Amino acid sequence: RNEDSSSSGHCLVLSRLANAVTPLWRLPYQEQLQVKYESQRKTLQTLTSRLEELGVDAQKPGGLCCPLQPVVPSPIINGYRNKSTFSVNRGPDGNPKTVGLYVGTGRERNIVCVKANHLENIPSKHKQVAQCYEEFICQSPLDSCILFHEGGHWRELVVRTTRCGHTMAVITFHPQQLGQEALATQKALLKEFFTCGPGAVCALSSLYFQESTMTRCSHEQSPYQLLHGAPHIFEELLGLRFRISPDAFFQVNTAGAQVLYQAVGELCQAAGDTVLLDICCGTGTIGLSLAHQVSKVIGVEVVEKAIEDAEWNAAFNGISNCEFHSGKAEAVLPQLLASWEDARPLVAVVNPSRAGLHYRVVRAIRNCRAIRRLLYISCKPEGEAMRNFLELCCPPDPRKKLAGEPFAPMMAIPFDMFPHTVHCELVLLFTR
> Cα Rg for the chain, rounded, in angstroms?
23
**Measured CA distances, 73 to 21, 32, 297, 419 (Å):** 19, 10, 29, 8
DSSP string, 124-185: HHHHHHHHHHHHHHHHSSSPB-SSGGG---EEEEEEEE-TTS-EEEEEEE--TT--HHHHHH
- Is 251 annotated for ligand binding? yes
For residue 121, say whether it is annotated as part of any ligand binding site.
no
Whether 379 is a known active-site residue: answer: yes
C-alpha span between 255 and 425 (Å, rounded) = 14
The annotation status of 301 as a binding-site residue, yes or no, is yes
Q: What are phi and psi of 145, to 5 degrees?
A: -100, 95
Evaluate whether 285 touches 261 at the Cβ level (below 8 Å). Answer: yes
Catalytic residue among 132, 281, 379, 394: 379
Give the closest residue to 319 by CA, choosing from 293, 301, 342, 348: 293
Largest CA distance in the chain: 78
299 DSSP β-pair partners: 278, 324
- Give the span between the Cα atoms of 391 and 394, in whole angstroms: 6
Annotated binding-site members: 251, 301, 351
Residue numbers annotated as active site: 379
Annotated binding site for S-adenosyl-L-methionine: 251, 301, 351
